[in-house]
Amino acid sequence: MSAGVSAPELVKLRIDGVEVEVPRGTGLVETAAVAGLEIPVFCYEPRLGPPIGACRMCLVEVEGIPKLQAGCTLTAQPDMVVRTAAASAKAAEGQDATLEFILVNHPLDCPVCDKGGECPLQDLTFRWGPGQTRMTFPKRTFDKPIPISPTIALDRERCILCYRCTRFSENVAEDGQLVAANRGAMSLITTFEDEPYCAPFSGNVIELCPVGALTSTQYRFQGRPWEIQNVPSICGLCPVGCNISATTREGKVRRILSRNHPEVDQGWLCDKGRFTYPHLYATDRIHEPLERVRRRGLGELSWNDALDRAEDLLRGAGGRVVTALSGSETLEQAYGLGKLLRQGLGAHSAVLPEATSDALDAFRAPLSAIARAEHVVVIGDERVADRAPIVDLWIRQARRNGARVDNVFEPRLDEELERRVRDSDRVILVWSGRAGGGGARLAELAHRLGLEGKDGSAAFHLPATPNGRGVAAAWAASADGEEKNPEPINLLIVSGDEAAADPAVRALAEQAEKVLAITMFQGLAVGWADLVLPGTSYLERDGTFVNLEGRIQRLRRTVIPPAPDELAWIARLAERFAVGLSPHSSVVFAELSGLLYGEELSYDDLGERAPLPPRSAFEPPQPAPTAPIPPLTTPPEEHFLGNLRLQRFRPLFSGPAVERVPELQFQRPPAEVELASEDAERRRIATGDTVSVRSNGSALALRASVRKDIPPGVARVAQEHAGDLGAAVEVARMSNPSSPEGRGTA
């Protein structure tokens, strides 16, 4: 695409006698839709790449061409005359024929098929297909259904070989795991050797599949489309904030679907966002408040009593209160807590797992801008797919569109790369790692590289929490007052499960006299908290999140939680401290938005697909860093045989919610240590070898995974497998090499 902006040329054409005017090159299917006409499709899906014209469902007649054409492969041209099945007997026969051929070996599964009622094959057969079958031979059969993973079931008999799923695997997620095998009528969809389809975006094939061939095992037999409700909301598990629909039936969430915000998620979801909802029904979910009773562990108490206890704890703390926030509270919740504690008690001190900053607002753009980039630079030592999975898909799309993608681990660009960036149009910078100052470091870099002035350029910082920035802003806005770190801490308030699971928060709790925890699950803070108030999930709250673009998006309560919404009891507590706080999130939002944005907003202003606020002017972030940024890799002179810097990372499939979903355990990271090729070769280690990883008297046996995408001098281990290892580790081979050829790069 050219850098300049020009109005697209409009062309006029006729479809079924209707004249329509669209930009030249618009797909014919979309053009027909503009004219209010349907060209039915199966294999056509623009997000999967150029149309392939495989299924032949979209056959239309084009004047001047004797043979029927696959409409999905055509684009709007001036003076084109098209007749669809509605206006052409020939096209109607063609579409009828396509459906007849699809149905020839399609099993009569509708009564037991989950897709029934929301099935394009059913719908199109009713609209364009034959009413009876002429097929008298036995249909071809397969063993079915086959679990291609714990979350996805494959029914090969139902498959119509539209290749949407394989094209997704190859061309979008680029995992290359779901493929077609054999040829012709023997073709089938499969993974390699019955290995599970283990990839972060696998679940999208369920939504892509136009029949009941790829279905969700979690949703199997859970309900019919006329028995359910789809509640629009936002996923709260990572800072992207994908737009979702929660399918509910009889008061329970049964599945999550994409709601498609073209600028944010393009209709994709990661498997964490899609399959984690069962955490709502975890066996260790807390329904009633709990308090610590000496020598008897924990006992349940009523809400009134619990609020009394909470009031006691708060009053008794003498203002020496620290609040540990998760960064997954809603804006309203964080604001409510802030008002209660800061206005009501003068307890201003709060901790968040990460720094936040507004500096990147000057480089704001929708995530979809990444796809049109000429040059993408990803800075940092954490994988984008672990922090903000959908951003990884956008970057892959950029590369497929011809963008150059550079990955640098150091938070600075070398001369050559910097020159390249300056010479490129449409530059996107992505910070994925630590020490980013919430985006402040990236903003400084982007400013220095002159990105404000470049068309189509932007910078994104990938936070570690879903709503950290929003939470910090809401907390800050809730009162004026200096933050003082009380010493010693009398009361630690632990807000949310991520905080409860954080070892750093646990360490704080050891120092505190009392702990009040707001948590969903028994397994987290219950062992060390004095008062536990049951928490809710993002699926159970009305409220707002601010995503990594700076977009404010609205969450909806999709099901009624087993315990009151946090805002409800915070408001009641606040009352006791003479702080005015509405229990209704919409009211709180109006109040908060007035403080943050200078005007009171309503949820309606956000709409169903929230807009992106405009950029603000660049302001150098305060305060400027005084300490130099620590290098991420061990410089060569310090490097001696045996010593690698340990990097603990948080994989995508981790966290209290994911841990409680049995079907997702197969996506959890194996007990592995990732090594760079250079370091592995020097130690004669190949992928698959068992190696010992030692430091400070602590030693672990882990499987080695040699990778090309990490720098020498670094060993990466998932947080949950890193045990007590220190900052520097010694890695050595323990067993015989697994492959005689000795080459084991992943």
Q: How far is the CB of 135 from other proteins (least distance, A)?
A: 7
Please identify, using beta-carbon distances, which residue of 38 and 96 lies nearer to other proteins: 96
Nearer Cβ to other proteins (162/206): 162
Can you give the three-state secondary structure of 711-745, one letter per residue?
A: CCCEEEEEHHHCCCCCCEEEEEECCCCCCCCCCCE
Task: Pick the closer one to other proteins by CB: 94 or 550.
Answer: 94
Binding mask 683-722 for other proteins (x = CB under 8 A): ----------------------------------------
Nearest to other proteins of 129, 411 (CB atom): 129
Choose the binding region for other proteins from 173-181, 206-214, 250-258, 459-467 (rule: CB under 8 A): 173-181
3-state secondary structure 464-527: CCCCHHHHHHHHHHCCCCCCCCCCCCCEEEEECHHHHHCHHHHHHHHHCCEEEEEECEHHHHCC
Strand partners, 519: 534
The stretch near other proteins (CB under 8 A) out of 95-103, 497-505, 598-606, 718-726 is 95-103
Residue 674 CA to residue 704 CA, distance in Å, equals 6
Taking the least distance from each CB to other proteins, the nearer of 194 and 480 is 194
Cβ atoms within 10 Å, residue 426: 20
- Please report how close the Cβ of residue 336 comes to other proteins at its closest, in angstroms: 49
Of the candidate residues 5, 6, 132, 193, the single one contacting other proteins (CB under 8 A)? 193
Token output for 307: 């609020």
- Residue 52 within binding range of other proteins, rule CB under 8 A: yes
Single-letter code of the amino acid located at 404: R
Contact 194, 661 (CB under 8 A): no
Compare residues 76 and 234 and give the one whose CB is closer to other proteins.
76
Q: Residue 436 and residue 410: Cα distance in Å, rounded?
A: 11
| Residue 389 near residue 172 (C-beta atoms within 8 A) | no
Q: Which is nearer to other proteins, 532 or 686 (CB)?
A: 686
DSSP E strands: which ranges in 548-671?
552-555, 644-649
**Which residue from 26, 149, 191, 465 is in contact with other proteins, where contact means CB under 8 A?**
191
The contact mask relative to other proteins for 114-153 (x = CB under 8 A, - = no) is: --------------------xxxxx-xxxx----------
Q: Is 70 in the site for other proteins (CB under 8 A)?
A: yes
Q: How far is the CB of 688 from other proteins (least distance, A)?
A: 11
**Residue 743 binds other proteins (CB under 8 A):** yes
From residue 406, give the alpha-carbon distance in Å to each of 396, 416, 421, 450, 546: 12, 12, 10, 18, 28
CA atoms within 13 A on the CB side of 645: 17
CB distance 692 to 655 below 8 Å: no
- Tell the smallest beta-carbon distance from residue 19 to other proteins (Å): 25
Q: Residue 101, interface with other proteins (CB under 8 A)?
A: yes
Strand partners, 745: 706
Q: With respect to other proteins, which residue has the nearer C-beta, 142 or 528?
A: 142
Task: Evaluate whether 373 touches 404 at the Cβ level (below 8 Å).
Answer: no
- β-strands 290-293, 427-431 pairing: unpaired
Cβ contact 209:163 at 8 Å? no
- For the bound state, the minimum distance from the C-beta of residue 213 to other proteins, rounded and expressed in Å, comes to 14
Q: Considering only 32-40, 63-71, 208-216, 290-298, which stretch makes contact with other proteins by CB under 8 A?
A: 63-71
Residues in contact with other proteins, total (CB under 8 A)? Answer: 56
Integer Cα distance of 176 and 168 in angstroms: 9
- The interface region with other proteins, picked from 100-108, 489-497, 580-588, 618-626 by CB under 8 A, is 100-108
- Tokens linked to 722: 């890193």
Range 393-432, binding other proteins (CB under 8 A): none
Using the rule CB under 8 A, is 53 a contact of other proteins? yes
- Does residue 94 bind other proteins (CB under 8 A)? yes
Q: How many CA atoms lie within 13 A of 79 on its CB side?
A: 1
Position of tokens 């970057």? 395
CB nearer to other proteins: pick between 654 and 705? 705
CB of 81 to other proteins, least distance (A): 18
Q: Which residue has tokens 């859970």? A: 222
Q: How far is the CB of 395 from other proteins (least distance, A)?
A: 19
Task: Return all residues near 447 (Cβ < 8 A) that are at least 6 apart.
Answer: 362, 618, 620
Contact window for other proteins (CB under 8 A) among 15-23, 188-196, 346-354, 428-436: 188-196
| Three-state DSSP state, 651 | coil
Q: List residues binding other proteins (CB under 8 A).
A: 51-57, 59, 67-68, 70, 73, 93-94, 97-98, 100-102, 104-105, 134-138, 140-143, 156, 160-161, 163, 170, 175-188, 190-193, 741, 743, 745
